[in-house]
């Protein structure tokens, strides 16, 4: 007969085994020390556990995967490590919730080589056998993710037992413009919020599909990621921003964060709110090696906290997000941004793509090297 202590020890051992998922991708990323600048791989690897904790926003790991590629380059080893992060299982506490939380932002990941990959889920989740087999398949042959979020791709491949954070999945969100709309296909049991600790077994067999983002955890709701909302959605708080759209940001001259000529209006009559959606294409930003050119947004409001990227789609995605979430841009202007992203996001990683982007949004002829890079100490963003 088992003692109480033995049973408790066994339960704790199982829990510990499942709660260690956040460490699995670390080694692959730490091994990328030959890429990028000294210490960058270690810094990125150190960020992995935080984005795989149970309370983390599931979109954050996709953003981190994009940053791995934009920081370390697109060598096959770098891509493989980033793909493994996208496919990694996020920690899951079956004593508190019954289904995992999945990113519903269709713009993430922005790196083409990372799209169409779906994550592993905890074996305790109903339907996990299907999803975990899909995850393994997607690493070898990514699924079609055109216009789809990770959540959408999972649903398309036959697994929908999860809640959604970010823009709602296509399978059910009748109005993707509202973070508070319930999913049209969610069942009556889709209500369990990850912020409330369900009693053990209370929802263990729940078949809730894409619950609205409001049903995700408080920690996920307090998202600080700039990519957590659909790029096309204007937040209610942007109403005030639109009132001062004509003001825009003033000219900036800074040897560290970079130069900005000041707010400019689009020649196409598009209202980008308080921001100017132009990009620059410069050499050796943020300590990168000589001869390495990257893309970056020019407006300091748009590029705040965003690292430069080798992949133009990452920067285009950031610009479109900021237009809708921060700048108070008009809907048609955000749509124009998204159309330009779709057309140019996979374009050549050279100056022609930067020029084409600026022209597409009504800023033909804008200087794409306003910082006269390369310059010692130039980071290129605020």
Burial of 347 (0-12, 13-18, 19+ CB in 10 A): middle
Tokens of 46: 């150190």
The neighbouring-strand residues paired with 221 are none
Residues in CB range of 356: below 8 A, 6 or more apart: 344, 347
Three-state secondary structure string covering 340-368 = HHHHHCCCCCCHHHHHHHHHHCCCCCCCC
Q: How confident is the model at residue 167 (pLDDT cuts 50, 70, 90)?
A: low
Q: What is the pLDDT of residue 131?
A: 95
The model carries a pTM of: 0.50
- Is the pLDDT at 189 greater than 60? The verdict is no
Tokens of 17: 């085994």
DSSP-derived 3-state class of residue 112: helix
Closest CA to 307 of 72, 71, 64, 107: 71
Read off the pLDDT of each residue in 197-208 and give the average, rounded to a whole number. Answer: 33
Kindly report, residue by residue over 168-177, the tens digit of the pLDDT.
444 333 333 3
- Is the pLDDT at 245 greater than 70? The verdict is no
Q: Which residue has the higher pLDDT, 49 or 192?
A: 49
- Is the pLDDT at 190 greater than 90? The verdict is no
Read off the pLDDT of each residue in 186-199 and give the average, rounded to a whole number. Answer: 31
Within a 10 A sphere around the Cβ of 196, how many other Cβ atoms?
A: 12
Q: What is the pLDDT of residue 222?
A: 37
Read off the pLDDT of each residue in 120-126 and give the average, rounded to a whole number. Answer: 89
Kindly report, residue by residue over 296-338, the tens digit of the pLDDT.
999 999 998 888 999 999 999 999 988 988 899 999 999 999 9
């Amino acid at each position: 007969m088992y003692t109480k202590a033995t049973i408790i020890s066994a339960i704790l051992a199982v829990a510990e085994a499942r709660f260690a998922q956040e460490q699995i991708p670390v080694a692959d990323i730490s091994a990328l020390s030959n890429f990028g600048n000294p210490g960058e791989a270690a810094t990125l690897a150190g960020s992995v556990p935080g984005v795989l904790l149970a309370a983390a926003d599931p979109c954050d790991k996709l953003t981190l995967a994009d940053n791995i590629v934009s920081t370390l380059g697109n060598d096959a080893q770098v891509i493989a490590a980033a793909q493994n992060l996208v496919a990694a299982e996020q920690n899951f506490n079956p004593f508190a919730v019954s289904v995992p939380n999945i990113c519903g932002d269709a713009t993430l990941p922005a790196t083409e080589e990372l799209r169409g990959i779906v994550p592993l889920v905890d074996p305790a989740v109903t339907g996990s056998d299907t999803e975990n087999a899909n995850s393994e398949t997607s690493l070898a042959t990514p699924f079609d993710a055109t216009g789809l979020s990770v959540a959408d791709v999972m649903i398309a491949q036959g697994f929908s037992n999860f809640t959604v954070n970010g823009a709602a999945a296509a399978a059910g969100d009748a109005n993707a413009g509202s973070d508070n709309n319930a999913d049209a296909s969610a069942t009556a049991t889709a209500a369990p919020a990850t912020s409330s600790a369900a009693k053990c077994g209370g929802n263990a067999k729940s078949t809730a599909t894409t619950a609205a983002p409001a049903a995700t955890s408080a920690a996920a709701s307090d998202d600080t990621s700039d990519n957590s909302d659909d790029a096309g959605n204007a937040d209610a708080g942007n109403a005030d921003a639109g009132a001062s759209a004509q003001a825009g940001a003033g000219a900036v001259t800074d040897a560290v964060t970079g130069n900005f000529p000041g707010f400019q209006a689009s020649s196409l009559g598009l209202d980008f709110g308080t921001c100017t959606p132009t990009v620059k294409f410069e050499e050796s930003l943020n300590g990168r090696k000589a001869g390495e050119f990257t893309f970056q947004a020019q407006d300091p409001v748009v590029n705040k906290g965003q690292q430069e990227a080798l992949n133009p789609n990452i920067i285009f995605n950031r610009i479109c997000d900021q237009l809708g979430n921060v700048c108070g841009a008009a809907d048609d202007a955000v749509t124009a941004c998204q159309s330009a992203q779709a057309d140019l996001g996979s374009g050549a990683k050279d100056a022609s793509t930067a020029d084409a982007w600026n022209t597409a949004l009504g800023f033909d002829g804008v200087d794409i090297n306003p910082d006269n890079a390369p310059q010692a100490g130039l980071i290129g963003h605020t």
